[in-house]
Structures are given as C-alpha cells and as structure tokens.
Amino acid sequence: MALKSLIDGEVINTGRQKSIDYVKAFAIFYMVTIHWYEEMSVCYADGTTSVLGYILEFLGGPLAAPVFMFSMGLGMIFSKHRTPLELFKRGVILLLVGYAFNIARICISYLIVGNIAGYFDMETFLYYTFNVDILNFCGVTFMFTALLKKCKVPIWSVPIVAIVMMTAGSLIQYEATTFVGKYFLALFIKCSDVSYFPLLNWYFFPAMGMIYGRYLRQAVDTDRWHRISLRLSIAFTVGILSAAFFYGINPIRFFTIEDDAYYLQNFMSAMFSLNVVLLCESLFYFLFKKVKIEKLDRLTFYMSNNLNTIYILQWLIIGNVLGTLYNGGWMPAFPIWVSIPLGIATTILSTYLSKFCNKILKF
C-alpha cells in the first residue's frame, strides 16, 4: 500500500481517540507529581538532583505540558466548535480564568499567611497573580489560532508559523523591567520570571497537534498510521539524541527545570518532546487495543474529558499547601520520593472532587 493511500479525501475518524485519552490521563498524574516535586521537595529546595529526580522531571516534562498542548491542538480539529469567533471567545475565557485561578490557588493564602507571618512581599504577590501557566497559554493560543483561521492560513502552514515563532522566541534575549513588559509581554516571550509557557516558544505543540489531527481524521488504516508514527518517532528521538551528543548538548536540558531550560523551548528540545509524545501515544494505541478493561476506559475517558477541572483542583490543593504551610515555615521540604505518593493521592482526590465541581470549573 502506497503511503499516500493511507490518507483518504473524506473524514473517517471523528470519534474519541482512546490512545490520546490514556496519554492525557497518565499526563495528569505526571503533572501533579512534578508539581509536588518542584515546589516542596528537597531537590527543588537545595538545587540538587538525583536519578529519581531526573525520571520525575522527564515524566513531568515531555509527557505533561506538551501532551496537553498537543491534545489541545488535536481537539481543535476534532471539535465541532472551531470557527474563529468560537475559538477567540474560548481563548478570552481561558485567559481570564487563568488569572482568576492564579489568585485562588495561592495568592489569597499568601496574602493572609504572609501578612500574619511577616513575610508578605508585593513583588512575590504580583508574581503569583500574573504567572503565565498553562491556562494562560491556552487562552492566548486559542485567540492566536482564531486569528490564523480568520486570515485563512492553511493548516499545513501552521507548523511552519509555529517553528518561525519558536526560533524567534528562543533567540530573543530580553529582560522586561516595566509592569506591562513583565506581566503582559510575558504571555508571548520569555522576558520575565513569571513566563513559564510563552506563546512563541510553546505554540509549536498545539500546531503539531492540529496537523496530526487533520490527517488522523482521514486515516484509512489507523493501525498502519500508528505503526508509521511509532517508527518515525523512535527514529527521530534517536536522531535528536545522537545530534545532541555530537554537538556536546546534554539531553537532560531538554526536560529539566535547571536554568529554565525546559521552559525556554527551542527547536531541538521541542522536537525531542514532540517525538516522545508521539512515541507514547502510539505505544498506548497498541497496548490498550489489546488490553480492554471497561472500568479503566471509563475512568480514563472521564479524566481526559475533565482535564481542566482536575488541573485546577490539583493546583488549588498544592498551591494552598505551598502558600499556607510551606511558605509559612510549618512544613519542611520533603524527600524526592514523597512526591510520588503525594501525586497519587492528589490525582485521586482531584478526580473525585471534579465530579462535584464540574458545574463551576468546567469550561
């Protein structure tokens, strides 16, 4: 069968993609665990690391935020609500919710406890308020994608736009000093310490999700599609790692938080993360095609479908523990391994609570 015969002219796959649901569900656990690890473990507190620390940073690196962003791009293709106006409105809502979420997850507890304990600092308060986290990134991503659609930019060229943006974002060396620069421009470039997911450096992942979803919907043979995806992702991952070693680049910098290397994505690190995501998605496709557990499928579907709610709840738990107990000096830094049981417990609790909070937090 020729490669071009893999893609049909008509849309064939319109339903949920089970492998994507599983990748997202596992990514939730990795994300929760890495948040505990980064915020309150000994590793983060004293700047040291370990083999376990690197493993957690890998799972919470390529297999966390890039998975959500890739899935967001793929969801834009599979969603019925994807006109420019619908995308723009959703972006505005996500951006506003992102800032409200920043205030709820840590600012209030920091304001109260910080003033009582005497360590309150306005600069830190502003940092917590205007932190450019994933929800903020999703907001500007939806709005920017709406602009591209309004300008009738063909979908095949969106990844090219994203690569140009990433190249510019990785080359810009600018440290903002004004209020607007530090807290608004940070949405687009890595110009201050609040900018974890600037649009220029991270739009690559939703862009690749869009192009992947565009052709997956028209794949005649999804088994063959994932076999090809698996082989290509393995080949690219090996190639990128080989190139990194050849040029004296430590691949660990592709996914660690040291010197903000992970947040300042460049083309090589982004390609590494993307291919790890595709490799994992293809493996899950074949694994869970054979292993069919109805209850597990339902749980995974629920977690994937309620990702935003679970994400908000886990940060409300972690952020307020951080703001109240850890910053207040009533909870010491814990060993790295403690991040794992805390991650499991918080994921379970957040998933359970999401059933009662969906009417408020789901959007």
Taking only the tens place, the pLDDT of each residue in 16-25 is 788 899 999 9
First to last CA, the chain: 43
CA–CA distance, 324 with 109 (Å, rounded to integer): 6
pLDDT tier for residue 45 given thresholds of 50, 70 and 90: low
Mean pLDDT over 11-30 rounds to: 85
Mean pLDDT over 24-49 rounds to: 85
Nearest residue to 344 (alpha-carbon basis) of 29, 23, 31, 28: 29
Q: What is the pLDDT of residue 330?
A: 82
CA–CA distance, 185 with 178 (Å, rounded to integer): 10
C-alpha 20, offset from chain centre: 14
Better-predicted residue by pLDDT, 242 or 214: 242
Q: What is the pLDDT of residue 219?
A: 82
Better-predicted residue by pLDDT, 141 or 261: 141
Locate the domains of the chain by residue range.
3-361
132 bridge partner residues: 195
Write the DSSP assignment of 196-264 as a string of letters.
Answer: SS-HHHHTHHHHHHHHHHHHHTTBS-HHHHHHHHHHHHHHHHHHHHHHHHHTT--GGGGT--GGGTTTS
pLDDT tier for residue 342 given thresholds of 50, 70 and 90: very high
Which residue, chain included where needed, has tokens 């063959």?
A: 224
CA–CA distance, 189 with 173 (Å, rounded to integer): 9
**Dihedral through CA 327, CA 328, CA 332, CA 338, nearest 10?**
-60
Here the tokens at position 181 are 């620069």
CA–CA distance, 260 with 177 (Å, rounded to integer): 19
Taking only the tens place, the pLDDT of each residue in 221-253 is 888 899 999 999 999 999 999 999 998 988 888
CA–CA distance, 89 with 263 (Å, rounded to integer): 27
Mean pLDDT over 273-298 rounds to: 90
What mean pLDDT, rounded, does the chain reach? 89
Left if phi > 0, otherwise alpha if psi is -120 to 50, otherwise beta: which for 292?
beta
Instruction: List Cα–Cα distances, 35 to 13, 142, 293, 336, in angstroms.
Output: 35, 25, 29, 12
Q: What is the pLDDT of residue 96?
A: 94
CA–CA distance, 183 with 127 (Å, rounded to integer): 8
| Phi, psi (degrees; rounded to nearest 5) at 102 | -55, -40
CA–CA distance, 191 with 195 (Å, rounded to integer): 7
CA–CA distance, 106 with 348 (Å, rounded to integer): 21
Whether the pLDDT of residue 44 is over 70: the answer is: no
Taking only the tens place, the pLDDT of each residue in 182-210 is 999 999 999 988 999 999 999 999 999 99
CA–CA distance, 48 with 211 (Å, rounded to integer): 39
Whether the pLDDT of residue 272 is over 60: the answer is: yes
Whether the pLDDT of residue 75 is over 90: the answer is: no
Q: What is the pLDDT of residue 117?
A: 81
pLDDT tier for residue 361 given thresholds of 50, 70 and 90: low
Inter-residue contact 233 to 278 (CB < 8 Å): yes
| Phi, psi (degrees; rounded to nearest 5) at 216 | -65, -35
Taking only the tens place, the pLDDT of each residue in 250-265 is 888 888 876 677 888 8
Q: What is the pLDDT of residue 288?
A: 85
